[in-house]
Amino acid sequence: MSGFTEVKEKMKGSIVMAAIATLVAMMQILTIMKATKYFFGNVGGLDDSLMIPQQSNNGMVSVKDSHSDGALKKDYPCFPPRPAMQSQPQRKDENHTIVYLETGYVNLHYEIFYTFIHQICSCLDEKDSQWTINTDTFPHFYVGHPDMLTMGFERVLQEYNTTTCGPIFFGVPSNPHLTIVTTSYPDNFRPDHQLQYHTLLNDPRYIFICHEDAPFLENTTNVFFLTPHHNRYVIPSFFPPSIVQQHSRSIAQQHPKKPPIFLVIGSFENPYRRSVTSLTSCFTMYRHFNFTVRFLGGGSSGMGGASNEKLAEKLRDTFPEDYDTKIELLTRTDTDEFMRHVAESDVILPLVEGQNFFNEEKGYQSGKKLTSSVMWGLGFGKKMVLYRPLAELFGIEEDNATYFLHGESTKDLAAFFEAFGRCLEHTFKETL
C-alpha cells in the first residue's frame, strides 16, 4: 500500500479520490493500532501502571524560581515604554540598568539567553529578587563578547530586540549593574579554579547559570540551575515570539498535507544522552507509513562533538533498512537556521529513558541536568513523546494530543514504541 501522502497527491480535484484518501488514512490509523496491539500481545500486554487517565495540560510556567508555587500569576508591563524603535538604538546608558549576558563560547547555550532577558522583563510577583531590577527606566541588555557571537545568533537577537522591554546591544559594557554568566559548571566555583567564581557567590551583581548538579551551591543566592530539582532554577523555554509564530508548522493547517516530521535534537554518539536504538521497533513496525525522523546534530563550533560523518555512519549502521527512506541527518547550522528546523517539525523525540535520565555521571543526573529537547518542545509548542519521570519533572501531563508519555522499556514491554504509535496515530488523524 502506498503512503498517505502519495495517495493525497493523486486525489487533487477529485471528490471520489478524496474519499479514497480518507479511507486509506483511516486504514493506516487502524493498522497502527493493530500493530501496537500485536506487538504487545506477544509480550504479555501493556502494564496498567504505565497508563494514566487523559488529562488536559494547563501550560507551563516558562520561568520559575524557588519561591514560585507553579501557578501562572498575572504578568503586566512594569517598565516604562521604550521610544520608537530605531534600526540602531543609541547606547545612552545613563539612568538605565545595564544587564550583561556573558557568553561561554561560540555557539554555546545560545538557546537559553532569551529566557534570561524575558525573566528580567517579567513582572510576575513570585520572581526571585535576584532577577528584579529598577523599573523606573527600561533596561539596556548587552550580549558579548562580540567575538563569540555568530551571525545567526545576532539576527535572532535583532528580531527579539523589537519586543523586549529594553534594547539589546552586542558588546561588553564597561560597568554593568548585573552580569549573567550564562555557562558555568561546579568546578568553576572551586577555590583553586582560575575563574575564581567562588569569590562572587551571593554577590547581587552576578547571576550564575550552572549546567550540572552542584549540591554545595544549592544554598547560594545567585546560582541558578535549569531544572526544578534545585532550590533556585529557571526553565529556559522562552523563545522570541515573532520567530516562533513566523516559522511554526502545523499539520492541521497545511495544504497540501505533508508527512509528519519527528525531530531528534543534538548529538547522539553518547548512549547516556539519547537512546537512539529505541526507534528500532518503530521503524520496523511502521516502515510502510509516510513519516520522517530528522536528526539535528553534529559537533558545535570548536567544541569537539562528533562530526556529521560519524553520526551518519552510526545511523546507517543502526537503521540500514530505513536510512535512505525515513531518516534525515541535518548539518548543525547557525542559530536562526537551527530555530527554523525546530519550528518546522511536528514532534520532538528526546529519546530519554532510564539509562539516560538516572545516570549521575554521563546522563541527566535524575533530572538535575537539563534535557534541552524538552525546553525546545515547550518553547515551540511541539508534540513530544516523553519518558514519564522526565515529563513529571516539568509538570507535563499526558493528554494524547500534545504529550505522549511512556514508562521504562524492557525486553517484555516496548513502552516507547507504544507511545510513539499513539503519537503517530494522532498526527495521521490531523491529516483527515
The set of cell numbers assigned to 197 is: 567564581
Residues 151 and 8 in one domain: no
Residues 265 and 212 in one domain: no
The set of cell numbers assigned to 269 is: 554518539
Better-predicted residue by pLDDT, 303 or 243: 243
| pLDDT reading at 42 higher than 60 | no
| pLDDT reading at 146 higher than 60 | yes
Q: Which domain holds residue 361?
A: 4-57+249-429
Can you tell me the mean pLDDT for 139-161?
Answer: 95
For position 197, what pLDDT does the model report? 98
pLDDT band at 153 (very low <50, low <70, confident <90, very high): very high
Calpha distance 24→134 (Å, rounded): 61
What is the tens place of the pLDDT at every residue in 171-224?
999 999 999 999 999 999 999 999 999 999 999 999 999 999 999 999 999 999
| pLDDT reading at 6 higher than 60 | no
Highest mean pLDDT among 71-80, 168-177, 304-313: 168-177
How many domains, in total, are found in the chain? 2
> Are 411 and 392 contacting, i.e. CB atoms less than 8 angstroms apart?
no
DSSP annotation of 315: H
pTM: 0.80
> Are 357 and 364 contacting, i.e. CB atoms less than 8 angstroms apart?
yes
CATH of the domain at 295: 3.40.50.2000
| pLDDT reading at 31 higher than 60 | no
In a domain, residue 77? The reply is no
Calpha distance 75→73 (Å, rounded): 6
* Domain limit, last residue, from 179, 214, 236: 236
Residues 201 and 278 in one domain: no
**Number of C-beta neighbours around residue 215 at 10 A:** 9
Better-predicted residue by pLDDT, 10 or 95: 95
Highest mean pLDDT among 86-100, 216-230, 294-308: 216-230
In a domain, residue 65? The reply is no
In a domain, residue 88? The reply is no
pLDDT band at 86 (very low <50, low <70, confident <90, very high): low
For position 63, what pLDDT does the model report? 37
| pLDDT reading at 24 higher than 80 | no
pLDDT band at 46 (very low <50, low <70, confident <90, very high): very low
User: With pLDDT > 70 as the criterion, what percentage of the chain qualifies?
Assistant: 75
Better-predicted residue by pLDDT, 57 or 233: 233
Can you tell me the mean pLDDT for 123-151?
Answer: 91
pLDDT band at 61 (very low <50, low <70, confident <90, very high): very low
Q: Is the dihedral of CA 38, 387, 336, 296 positive or negative?
A: negative
Lowest mean pLDDT among 16-30, 114-128, 157-171, 279-293: 16-30
| pLDDT reading at 70 higher than 70 | no
In a domain, residue 346? The reply is yes
Can you tell me the mean pLDDT for 352-370?
Answer: 86
pLDDT band at 26 (very low <50, low <70, confident <90, very high): low
Residues 231 and 257 in one domain: no
For position 126, what pLDDT does the model report? 77
pLDDT band at 250 (very low <50, low <70, confident <90, very high): low
The set of cell numbers assigned to 93 is: 546608558
Residues 276 and 227 in one domain: no
* Domain limit, last residue, from 208, 236, 264: 236
Residues 6+ apart with CB under 8 A from 94: none
| pLDDT reading at 96 higher than 80 | yes
> Are 177 and 133 contacting, i.e. CB atoms less than 8 angstroms apart?
yes
Q: 3-state DSSP call for residue 327?
A: strand
Calpha distance 241→418 (Å, rounded): 33
Residues 121 and 197 in one domain: yes
Mean pLDDT of the chain: 80
Lowest mean pLDDT among 20-34, 355-369, 391-405, 411-425: 20-34
Can you tell me the mean pLDDT for 373-394?
Answer: 94
Residues 283 and 349 in one domain: yes
For position 67, what pLDDT does the model report? 34
Residues 225 and 275 in one domain: no
pLDDT band at 71 (very low <50, low <70, confident <90, very high): very low
| pLDDT reading at 113 higher than 90 | yes
